[in-house]
Amino acid sequence: MSCRTVCCNRWSSEERLDGKTVIITGANTGIGKETARDLARRGARIIMACRDLERAEEARTDILEDTGNENLVIRKLDLSDTKSIRAFADHINKEERQVNILINNAGIMMCPYSKTADGFEMQLGVNHLGHVLLTYLLLDLIKRSAPARIVVVASVAHTWTGLRLDDLNSEESYDTMKAYGQSKLANVLFARSLAKRLQDTGVSVFSLHPGVVQSDLWRHQHQCIQVAVKIFRIFTKTTVEGAQTTIYCAVEPRLESLSGGYFSDCAPAACSRAASDDDLAQKLLRQLFFTNKQPESYVALIPLTVFASDTTSDPARHHGSGYAARKTMHKTRQKRIPEDCHGHSYWVCHHGIHWFLRQTHPHPHQQHHCWWLNSS
């Protein structure tokens, strides 16, 4: 018996997903592929959201032969490019009647320093920001599909570091492990915060640690580390084993009361103190969208109510320009912020969900314009 078997909770379920639609990012390899395989066996319609279409087709063929489920759809999604994310979401919103489960699985780990197409540090951009944008763009459809679930694949690496709020984009210094840990900490904070916002909507949100898994995630590591991982594979999980907690969060009945929770080995688990810090979650979003130190780019959609706090009583008066604030090319109708929204808890606003879009005027002496779109 391997050490991983001793350490992992054994879990199995006959839960069916017939008639359900599931989106899995990074479904062409690793635990994403095994998650797709399992949910296909349960009868779900699987949308494989992948960057590499050739590998996605190979994975689809493999899963089809194994499960007999022909309801496997491949869609192009590059989480390092907001244009690709928007194109994917636009297609889903137009073509799909429902999305019952969104699994934010894709990720990269401890890669050399590089930036996304929009100027973000690659690990933060792909692991966190890309999935944040994708989730919000699909959120209305997910809410209409309730009961529904959003599953965020994080990592125990979220305990490795805190958030470098003064250098989220790792412009001043770059440590591969800390940058990876920071992206995963942001994931856990996002899942926790989103769950609070979605209370009473029928949408549950979970984050998880899949375990130390033998997968392609190690490809950026020094060869010595890759060899060590293989030598000590008795202490690691296969991709099938690594997918189990994701599957658990996606299908296990009666988890709604644990929405916002963090899971490991198919059970609730303790996350770091930082990952439980609601104030830190607010600071993260404020830094991403309201600071002048971030690159000329945007994520584009964040909730107004994130900023309706004691320290930011009126977001429209803030003229900072951060990750999401500096380039918004989308035209939406301008709305005055409801006066009685100010001072409410930043996750609760009885006027519904107000999306925040900030447009920077090209003229340097003109102030930024805030655009508000009520999507409730």
Cite the active site residues. 180
Q: CB–CB of 149/205 below 8 Å? A: yes
- What does the longest C-alpha to C-alpha distance in the chain come to? 69
Residues facing residue 359 across a β-bridge: 369
**Tokens linked to 204:** 């549950």
